[in-house]
Amino acid sequence: MKRSSIIYVPLLFSFLTTIAFSFFYYYQIQQDNEEIAEAVSSDTSPPDYHFALIGEELDHDYWRLVGKGAKQSETEQEVFVEYGGPQRSNPEEQLRLLDKAIQSKVDGIIIQALNEEFTPLIDQAVGQDIPVMTIDTDSTESSRSAYIGTDNYSAGQLAGEALVADTGGEAIIGIVTGRFNNAHHSLRVEGFRSVVGQKEGIDIVAIEESSIDRIRAEEKAYNMLTNHQEITALYGTSSLDGIGISEAAESLNRQDDLYVITFDTLEENLQLLEQGKIDALVEQQPWEMGHRSVELMIDILNNKQVEEIHHTDSSIIRKRDLPYRNALTGEGH
Ligand code: BGC
């Protein structure tokens, strides 16, 4: 090879490579510019409102549905819903999140008010012109604008009526309830007692707390069934109680002769109903609670007339209702 080609070939190669890279970067920059222009011209206006929605536990199917309902409203309205809560039920952390929402000066707060410790903070929010709605569990003493959720006393009555009908009015009952100081669980127990208390053949012999925990529910149900072998029926007032109860019944070989009624149509509860390990479920409407709560809060901020109490439906589901129910329910509800 000639000496001159030894010099020119690499030079020509680097020249061509430089040109190729320049074209490539030019094209790349053009593309980036187009994307930026597109993003700026598209509708990036911030939502009109920022709400905080605070539930009892994020890692729970019932609360996932509440969150999904609220997020659906977000796609329909000019609103951003910051959905939060403790990972597992923890009322102190829930209170801290409420405090944080007040400090962040959100436009509205939607909160499950578990007990009277929530009242001062709700009042503080309202005092700072942040409207508050309660969801799932009401705080009637507070200055919240409205409540959306189950009528928990009536739902307890429904459970009582179902038990009376299914047992022919003859039962020795144990109750597993979420927490004694939670307003909704107390109401579910009171409503239940108001019905079964009138029946001569029915007695309530024990009541224990599950602390919204399935293992604790199992432990409590197990102890109840061993300490009171006369028990023929167990009533659970929160979503996971029925799962714990049926585990306990199975370990004690009581699954066939024990009547079990509990709350919520979670997937696992529906399977237990199908298998005959749970006899009846009280169905609530968590998706609708989340969805409507956001709409109502917008109405409150727009000074529309909003009723104070918005009860969502509750009903009894037994195994025989499952085919009809499955045909009716759509995905996500
Ligand atoms: C209640 C919720 C609760 C859940 C816990 C539901 O029945 O309505 O307040 O967080 O049970 O398992």
Domains of the chain: 49-150+286-311 (3.40.50.2300), 152-263 (3.40.50.2300)
Side by side, the strands of the sheet bearing 49-54 are 79-84, 49-54, 108-111, 132-135, 146-150, 309-312
pLDDT for the residue numbered 333:
44
pLDDT for the residue numbered 84:
97
Q: What six digits make up the tokens of 105?
A: 């000066």
Q: 141 C-alpha to center of ligand 1: Å?
A: 21
Query: Is 138 a pocket residue for ligand 1 (Cβ < 6 Å)?
Result: no
pLDDT for the residue numbered 331:
41
Q: Which residues contact 167 (CB under 8 A, 6 or more apart)?
A: 202, 232, 233, 259
CB atoms within 10 A of CB 178: 28
Give the Å distances, CA to CA, from 247 to 7, 53, 244, 266.
84, 33, 5, 16
Q: How many CA atoms lie within 13 A of 333 on its CB side?
A: 9
Query: Is 263 a pocket residue for ligand 1 (Cβ < 6 Å)?
Result: yes
**Probe residue for ligand 1, chosen from 58, 60, 62 as the CB with the greatest number of ligand atoms within 8 Å:** 62
pLDDT for the residue numbered 32:
47
Phi (first) and psi of residue 186, to 5 degrees: -60, -45
Taking each continuous run of H as one helix and of E as one strand, the counts in the chain are 11, 12
pTM of the model: 0.85
Query: Is 182 a pocket residue for ligand 1 (Cβ < 6 Å)?
Result: no
**237 touches 178 (CB < 8 A):** yes
**97 touches 54 (CB < 8 A):** yes
d(CA 268, CA 241): 11
**143 touches 74 (CB < 8 A):** no
Side by side, the strands of the sheet bearing 259-263 are 202-209, 171-177, 233-236, 259-263, 280-283, 315-318
Phi (first) and psi of residue 49, to 5 degrees: -130, 155
Q: 64 C-alpha to center of ligand 1: Å?
A: 11
Atom of ligand 1 nearest to the CA of 182: 9
Q: Which residues contact 113 (CB under 8 A, 6 or more apart)?
A: 119, 122, 134, 137, 138, 139, 142, 144, 183
Ligand 1 atom 9: residue of nearest CA: 136
**108 touches 297 (CB < 8 A):** yes
Q: 237 C-alpha to center of ligand 1: Å?
A: 8
User: Would you list the DSSP string of 153-190?
Assistant: HHHHHHHHHHHHHHHTT-EEEEEEES-TT-HHHHHHHH
Give the Å distances, CA to CA, from 194 to 118, 153, 170, 322.
27, 9, 16, 28
Comparing CA positions, the residue from 282, 279, 273, 285 lying closest to residue 322 is 273
Query: Is 113 a pocket residue for ligand 1 (Cβ < 6 Å)?
Result: no
Comparing CA positions, the residue from 112, 37, 30 lying closest to residue 70 is 112
Atom of ligand 1 nearest to the CA of 112: 9
**Tens place of pLDDT per residue across the chain (333 aa):** 555 566 666 666 666 666 665 565 555 545 544 544 454 445 567 899 999 999 999 999 999 999 999 999 999 999 999 999 999 999 999 999 999 999 999 999 999 999 999 999 999 999 999 999 999 999 999 999 999 999 999 999 999 999 999 999 999 999 999 999 999 999 999 999 999 999 999 999 999 999 999 999 999 999 999 999 999 999 999 999 999 999 999 999 999 999 999 999 999 999 999 999 999 999 999 999 999 999 999 999 999 999 999 999 999 999 999 998 878 765 434
Tokens 């009109």 — which residue?
Answer: 48
Ligand 1 atom 3: residue of nearest CA: 238
Angle, nearest 10°, between helix axes 91-103 and 119-127?
10
